[in-house]
Amino acid sequence: MTVVAPDVVWSDAPLLPPHDPFYATPPGIDLLAPGAVVRSRPVEVALFGVVRQRISAWQLLYRTCDLDGVPEVAVTTVLLPWGSSARSRPLVSFQCAIDAVAPQCFPSYALRRGAQTIGSIAPLELPIIAMALAQGWAVSVPDHEGIGGRFGAAREPGYRALDGIRAAQQFTEVGTAVALWGYSGGGLATAWAAELAADYAPELNIVGAAMGSPVGDPAAAFVRLNGGWFAGFPAAFVAGLRQAYPELGAMLDDRLDARYRDLLREAEQRSTFALLLRFARRDIGAHLPAGMGELLAEPVLRRILADIEPGTRAPAAPLLVVQGVHDEVIAVADIDAHVRRYQQAGATVRYLRVRRGAHLPLEFLIVPAVLDWLSDRFAGLPAPTGTCTVASVARSPRALRTHFAFLRLAVRMLVGQPISGPREDP
């Protein structure tokens, strides 16, 4: 393992990214290669910021770029099984469902001991990440929204994930074979990484990408969720996009009333679940002079919505896509269309449509299927293809065994026992 001296002091209460000097962009970032490590530090990971986890962890600040290719920095949290050697091992890039703009939701903050994690999604996903570690794999968890939390922007989540993999490989010497994994907003980031990998990072040996409920059509989701119980997601979407696309911010300032502009500033500070509570049943159209139709007819917004739609190019790596048929957040029709675009472009896709399971529970229910699929890709087995609609992905004896292993692992995490991989050869 490459030894890099930490340049920060350990703290029981980590600073939020905007106030933490570790995240600062150094001069000359444009002179570095994509994925080059700028600085590193060891960190302690904790369950909900409280229960210290015996997982080996470092954070890397590395060079990447935004949607227009402008150099910038991002952070990934690199995890290894406790007490493991530095031998080469598979690497999984796990894209969390950040689904917010606020910095307390970034995985690099929310996974740390002492972090204030209420309302953030990343801590809920830590047991899933631990299941990957229990396979003996290394895991990179990038802040795929970047330092500014640009939720929903095109392409750049993929650049950040891919450069995070490069940084992890440079730092730890792991990742001879690489896989991508993400759900919901993390699934969308995974889709971008899979689509961009062949052109942007052709040297990476990406053997597969597993994406659960990967949004599919952000524009359709924006319209459908607006005014409903999940209207916080469209609010976070607008808050993130106006940072990524300055022309959108200017247009919204001209169209939205003062009340919703104030709410968007609130959205930039609220965690994911706090957003859902604050914006439940709120219709952005009620804050526009001519309603939602006026906003959707704006050429600026139409261009941006076209830019952020995934599925326009075929990933070179095999794909596993899993979607709930009755998902209350992401419409199955949007994912059906997303998969068709991939298939028509020539991608290798296995698509599982699941009849049982609401949006959040399904992320946990599909863990056995994803682990099996990723294990087969790391083993070099041929990837299956085709679409299959099933009643459940959690009922088979094999899936039940994995769920019991998941529960045992969760108990180990609650009491702070080591999260280690299978026994390694000396």
d(CA 193, CA 78): 17
- Cα 40 to Cα 58: distance, rounded to the nearest angstrom: 7
The maximal CA–CA distance of the chain, rounded, in angstroms, is: 70
Distance CA 254, CA 88 (A): 54
Is residue 360 within a helix (H) or strand (E), and if so which, with residue range? helix 359-365
Q: Which residue has the tokens 């597993």?
A: 210
Please tell me which residue in 327, 334, 338, 420 is annotated as part of the active site: 327
- Residues with Cβ within 8 Å of residue 250, at least 6 apart in sequence: none
Phi, psi torsion values for 319, nearest 5 degrees: -120, 145
Separation between Cα atoms, residue 188 and residue 207, nearest integer Å:
18
Set 40, 93, 184, 420: catalytic member: 184
What torsion do the CA atoms of 115, 116, 119, 123 make, to the nearest 10 degrees?
20
Active site residue 359: yes
Query: Half-sphere exposure of 121 toward its Cβ, with a 13 Å CA cutoff?
Result: 22
CA distance 157 to 238: 16
- 138: helix, coil or strand? strand
Contact between 211 and 320 under an 8 Å Cβ cutoff? The reply is yes
Q: How far is CA 366 from CA 129, 183, 212, 283, 363, in A?
A: 13, 10, 8, 33, 6
Q: Which of 144, 287, 338, 359 is catalytic?
A: 359
Contact between residue 226 and residue 329 where contact means Cβ atoms under 8 Å apart: no
- Within the chain, how many helices (H) and strands (E) appear? 15, 12
Cα distances (angstroms) measured from residue 211 to each of 104, 188, 301, 351: 24, 8, 27, 10
Catalytic residue flag (residue 375): no
Token readout for 283 is 């219709």
Q: Let me know if 253 is a catalytic residue.
A: no
Catalytic annotation, residues: 184, 327, 359
